[in-house]
Amino acid sequence: MAGRTNKVAWFVFVFLAIGVGLYPMLYIITAFQDVEVGLRLSKTPDLLASTLWNIGFYGHVTFGGLALLTGWSQFSEKLRKKRLDLHRNLGKIYIVSVLISGICGVGIGFKATGGWFPALGFILLGLVWLYTTLKAYSAIKQKDLKLHQGMMIYSYAACFAAVTLRIWLPLLQVTFGEFLIAYKIVAWLCWVPNIIFAHFWVRRKGLLLG
């Protein structure tokens, strides 16, 4: 029974990662049609007209999507055992994607809708994502496998905020009846519980983070 539950949880995890990982395609397609969709609808005309902000936005969502699409594979023991070379190459793609998306995310975080409260939430998310990913990379270079695995759990928990944001945001909008209130809350709710969950997961697996 536990094995079946784990398989279902793994399927849902991968399905959500791939589904949301492909979501940035919508932004890219509509960019050529001069149509605003998704979270861009909450931005001011001046911000949408900013070349620098648009570079940051598209860099964040495009490479963030790529990080989601490649990151889940790093937790597949079967892939790691049978295709270690593929595991490593996908890991490299994930790290580069995080660096680009994370830096862009921190940059556009300063212009988050709703003022300093959601801005701080998204900026801290970007910093946590960058730190844990670089720490994971440094650990594997030093052959510290436990530290690497632990930090990758934290890193992908931060990455998975893209998924949990899209789960929480509509629920919060229904609850409060207003996008702005929901967005201010989701700026923190999309990633803090993920990191808490990652902490307990790391402890349960006995991974040393030191």
Q: What is the pLDDT of residues 125-183, one digit of tens each?
A: 999 999 999 999 999 999 998 999 999 999 999 999 999 999 999 999 999 999 999 99
Q: What's the rounded Cα separation, in Å, for the pair 57 and 24?
A: 10
Contact, 59 vs 100, CB < 8 A?
yes
Closest CA to 181 of 114, 133, 124: 114
User: Looking at the predicted structure, is the pLDDT value of residue 115 above 80?
Assistant: yes
* Stretch 190-204: mean pLDDT: 94
pLDDT for residue 55: 96
User: Looking at the predicted structure, is the pLDDT value of residue 1 above 60?
Assistant: no
pLDDT digits (tens, 9 = 90+) for 61-114: 999 999 999 998 888 888 888 888 888 899 999 999 999 999 999 999 999 999
User: Looking at the predicted structure, is the pLDDT value of residue 208 above 80?
Assistant: no
User: Looking at the predicted structure, is the pLDDT value of residue 122 above 90?
Assistant: yes
Q: Can you give the residue range of the structural domain that contains 64?
A: 2-36+43-205
pLDDT for residue 72: 87
pLDDT for residue 76: 81
Whether 97 is in a domain gets the answer yes
In terms of C-beta distances under 8 Å and separation of at least 24 residues, what long-range contacts does 61-64 make, across chains too?
61/23, 61/24, 61/27, 61/101, 62/24, 62/28, 62/101, 63/96, 63/97, 63/98, 63/100, 63/101, 63/104, 64/24, 64/97, 64/101, 64/105, 64/159, 64/162
More confident residue, 4 or 175: 175
Structural domain count, the chain: 1
Whether 50 is in a domain gets the answer yes
pLDDT for residue 24: 87
Whether 183 is in a domain gets the answer yes
User: Looking at the predicted structure, is the pLDDT value of residue 210 above 80?
Assistant: no
Q: Is the dihedral of CA 21, 25, 27, 28 positive or negative?
A: positive
The residue type of 163 is V
Closest CA to 91 of 73, 108, 107, 76: 73
Q: What six digits make up the tokens of 20?
A: 């949301």
Beta strands in the chain (DSSP E): none
Whether 89 is in a domain gets the answer yes
Distances (CA, A) of 128 to 15, 132, 134, 136: 24, 6, 10, 12
Whether 178 is in a domain gets the answer yes
Whether 30 is in a domain gets the answer yes
Whether 19 is in a domain gets the answer yes
Q: What's the rounded Cα separation, in Å, for the pair 199 and 157?
A: 10
Whether 210 is in a domain gets the answer no
